[in-house]
């Protein structure tokens, strides 16, 4: 049996179930539903052939070409689904399928799987509908608090400890697979596509309770090669800030442990990327310190630049939103407890006490409300 579901029903019903994306590997890599598995009906090249045929000859010739290309692969698709269901331990053989628009590709796969005996549910409007749903997420207002501090304060590690304490946290650097600075890739060039970065961020936001504070780390709009969605970034720039202040030697020790062990060629390349901002003399001294394995000297040298950049950024913010907190040692677990207590003392528990303008909107909308018809 084939059942067509709206996006809200599809998301609700497919939780912990097998979701199959039948688009090409290239489409899937560009962006996909969180938790979906790619089982492409066509290869990247085959989709181009079918699309060209559709434009030049029409619908029916394109359908015939599609079936010719698929040939005897139907049995393999069914075997693959059987294997995937065994992994998910789904005894009822429910399969959720989608393509780009909820058209021929998902329809063809649903037909084959239904013939075999699966219960198949197809997403009305396809991935295109899901993508609109993700983009809409960034227009919702959120009770955001920013954790800030100069480079080397272990902000990300502290946020993750705060999450263990029950705080709501969005780790943008984790979602972007990058730590933000010129050195932020740590030699690993992989980042998700911009579209998938946004999809994952939207998914994370949709899980949160908008009547409670949500922590973000202070970021520029660009994280590596990825950009924070404008709707979210504008809210971050206006949010309340807890500014961690730690002794420089604590920061140097932390950065030495984190970056001092990385490949020297990567570090030197990263220094050269910011030559114009460091200046020729500072660049020379930094490179020399790396070559001579004086890693703490190298870190102190580049911190001069990053601290100045941080200070300029802070000066552009509304000073009434910045709340400094001096900490003696860099201990993410202990500092997380202090930050939570400090924030509660400053603002209380109810987000309305520090974001009254936003709270009015939040009382009228919910990020977990899926009643909107995203097939429009």
Any idea of the CA torsion for 256, 262, 265, 269, to the nearest 10 degrees?
-70
Cα Rg of the chain (Å, integer): 25
Choose, from 99, 134, 153, 343, the residue flagged as catalytic.
99
Q: Which two tokens stand for residue 373?
A: 């018809």
Q: Which two tokens stand for residue 167?
A: 């705080």
Contact 40, 29 (CB under 8 A): no
Helix, strand, coil percent values for the chain (each to nearest 5): 55, 15, 30
Alpha helices in 292-362 (DSSP H): 295-315, 332-347, 356-362
Total residues found in the chain within this entry: 376
CA pair distance 316, 282, nearest whole angstrom: 26
Contact 318, 303 (CB under 8 A): no
- The verdict on whether 99 is a catalytic residue reads yes
Catalytic residues: 99
């Amino acid at each position: 049996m084939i059942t067509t579901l709206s996006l809200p029903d599809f998301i609700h019903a497919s939780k912990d179930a097998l979701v199959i994306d039948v688009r090409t590997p290239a489409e899937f890599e560009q962006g996909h539903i969180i938790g979906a598995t790619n089982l492409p009906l066509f290869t990247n090249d085959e989709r181009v052939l079918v699309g060209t045929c559709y434009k030049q000859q029409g619908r029916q010739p394109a359908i015939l070409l599609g079936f010719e290309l698929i040939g005897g692969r139907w049995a393999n698709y069914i075997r693959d689904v059987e294997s995937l269901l065994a992994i998910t331990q789904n005894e009822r053989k429910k399969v959720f399928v989608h393509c780009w628009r909820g058209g021929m590709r998902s329809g063809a796969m649903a037909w084959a799987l239904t013939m075999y005996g699966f219960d198949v549910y197809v997403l009305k409007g396809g991935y295109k509908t899901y993508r609109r749903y993700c983009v809409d997420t960034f227009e919702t207002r959120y009770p955001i608090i920013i954790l800030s501090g100069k480079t080397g304060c272990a902000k990300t590690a502290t946020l993750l400890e705060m999450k263990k304490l029950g705080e709501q946290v969005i780790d943008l650097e984790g979602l972007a697979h990058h730590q933000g600075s010129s050195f932020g890739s740590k030699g690993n060039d992989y980042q998700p596509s911009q579209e998938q970065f946004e999809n994952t961020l939207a998914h994370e936001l949709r899980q949160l309770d908008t009547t409670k504070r949500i922590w973000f780390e202070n970021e520029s709009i660009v994280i590596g090669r990825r950009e924070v969605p404008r709707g979210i970034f504008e809210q971050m720039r206006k949010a309340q800030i807890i500014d961690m202040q730690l002794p420089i030697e604590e920061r140097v020790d932390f950065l030495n442990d984190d970056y001092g062990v990385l490949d020297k060629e990567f570090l030197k390349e990263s220094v050269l990327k910011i030559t114009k901002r460091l200046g020729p003399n500072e660049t020379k001294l930094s490179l020399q310190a790396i070559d001579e394995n004086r890693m703490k000297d190298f870190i102190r040298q580049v911190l001069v630049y990053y601290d100045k950049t941080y200070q300029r950024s802070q000066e552009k913010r509304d000073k009434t939103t910045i709340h400094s907190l001096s900490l003696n040692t860099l201990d993410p677990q202990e500092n997380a407890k202090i930050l939570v207590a400090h924030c509660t003392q400053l603002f209380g528990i109810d987000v309305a006490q520090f974001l009254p303008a936003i709270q009015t909107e939040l009382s009228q909308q919910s990020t977990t409300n899926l009643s909107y018809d995203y097939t429009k």
